[in-house]
Amino acid sequence: MTTGEKICKLRESACMSQDEMAEKLDVSRQTVSNWENDKNKIDLEKVKLICSIFKISLDELCSDEEIKTVKTSENTGRGNKPVIIFSSVMLIVSFAVLITALVFAFTSEKNGQISSAVTLSGVFGWISVAVISLAVAAVALFIIFKSRGK
């Protein structure tokens, strides 16, 4: 198995596109394609980065033996899609709860009495729900951006 074939296998098993790998290595997609097709040689610094990304040794990458497993602990690219979808749903739900809580907070008291539809203790309870939903939304946004590598 050639080094180019190994790079291709590692990249594909990590669910990474050539564009994503090129971005991580600060090269063009065409450069990655040329490496995978054994058209160009890879400089030593890029080889070190590739080994680091895929958690393999230099010997594993450069030997003639086939790579058996990919040891990446990092999900990349499309591998993060379920996390992004879940976080996006949590973000939407958080904003819906936030809006609902704020509406109840500002409409719960009429003439000094709490509406019978409100089960939390007045404005303070609904403001608390709003703050919690904002915190959940912030965490969801953090996860989404972290998963996308931005």
Helix axes 122-147, 81-107, angle to 10 degrees: 160
Give the amino acid at 76: T
- Residue 55 is assigned to a structural domain of this protein: yes
- C-alpha to C-alpha distance for 10 and 42, rounded to whole angstroms: 16
Angle between helix axes 18-25 and 44-54 (nearest 10 degrees) is 120
Q: What is the pTM of this model?
A: 0.47
Question: Are residues 40 and 88 part of one domain?
Answer: no
Task: Please return the burial class of 140, using the count of CB atoms within 10 Å of its CB with bins 0-12, 13-18 and 19+.
Answer: buried
Count how many domains the chain has.
2
| Residue 94 located in a structural domain | yes
Q: Do 88 and 141 reside in the same domain of the chain? A: yes
The answer as to whether 124 is a domain residue is: yes
- The first and second tokens of residue 29, run together, are 């997609």
Is there a single domain that holds both residue 30 and residue 84?
Answer: no
Say if residue 46 is in the same domain as residue 94: no
Note whether 56 and 88 are same-domain residues: no
Q: Give yes or no for residue 97 having a pLDDT over 50.
A: yes
Task: For residue 140, give the nearest of 89, 99, 81, 78 by alpha carbon.
Answer: 89
- Do 50 and 95 lie in one domain? The reply is no
pLDDT per position as a tens digit, 105-150:
677 655 455 454 555 566 677 777 888 888 888 888 888 777 766 4
For residues 7 and 57, membership in a common domain is answered with: yes
Q: Flag whether 34 is in a domain.
A: yes
Distance between CA atoms of 78 and 106, rounded to whole angstroms? 42
118 vs 79: CA distance, rounded Å = 43
Query: What pLDDT, on a 0 to 100 scale, did the predictor assign at position 37?
Result: 94
Q: What is the average pLDDT value for the chain, to the nearest integer?
A: 79
Q: Domain with 47 in it: what CATH number?
A: 1.10.260.40
Last residue of a domain, one of 38, 62, 86: 62
**Domain range enclosing 112:** 77-147
